[in-house]
Amino acid sequence: MAEDIIINYMAPGMLDFGVIENGEDVETTGYGPVGLGDLQVDRDAKTGEYLAFVAHNFDKTYFDIIEKLNKKPIPYRYNIPAAGLKNLTLQQVLTWIYANYVLEAKKLQVA
């Protein structure tokens, strides 16, 4: 089942996104490295599901993260309700964020 996510981005590269809280008291692992470079993951302590993600330098590390994910895909799917997008892979989520936050910010700077 795909989970709804919320995205927080602060230029120049602080990306912080994850599954929207639903009132459940979920125990998580805390963010930690999972072999995806700059992208650290906070997981459900019981199920291991990837619930939230943080990258400190996403404007520079997007391509490296995607390369690592292509070699080691994860099984979870996510929805971006704010964009009406459903059942996305993590690569698709990250690409949407890169286009709509990082590249948008660069476009504004050029303008």
Partner 1 sequence: MAGTDTTQSGKIIYVSDDIPLQTIIYSVEDILGNKVYFTEEAERYIKDSRSRKRGQQYVINYLQKIPGVLKDPSIIILDPDDSTDKTILYYKEIYIVEKKKQLLFTLVVKIFRERIVYNFYPQESGKVKISEGKLPPKIIYLKAGLKKSTYFKR
Which position among 42, 92, 96, 100 is part of the footprint of partner 1 (CB under 8 A)? 42
Q: Does 111 bind partner 1 (CB under 8 A)?
A: no
Q: Does 54 bind partner 1 (CB under 8 A)?
A: yes
What lies within 8 Å, CB to CB, of 36 at 6+ separation is: 65, 68, 69, 72
Q: What does the alpha-carbon distance between residue 83 and residue 110 come to, in Å, rounded to a whole number?
A: 25
Q: Does 48 bind partner 1 (CB under 8 A)?
A: no
| 6 strand-pairing partners | 18
CA distances for 12 relative to 31, 61, 90, angstroms: 21, 12, 21
CB atoms within 10 A of CB 8: 11
Q: Does 8 bind partner 1 (CB under 8 A)?
A: yes
Residue 73 C-beta: closest distance to partner 1, Å: 16
Residue 27 C-beta: closest distance to partner 1, Å: 7
Which lies closer to partner 1 via its Cβ, residue 40 or residue 95?
Answer: 40
Look-up of token digits 């981005």 = 9
Binding positions for partner 1, rule: CB under 8 A: 6, 8, 10-12, 14, 16, 18-22, 24-33, 35, 37-38, 40, 42, 44, 51-52, 54-57, 60-61, 68, 109
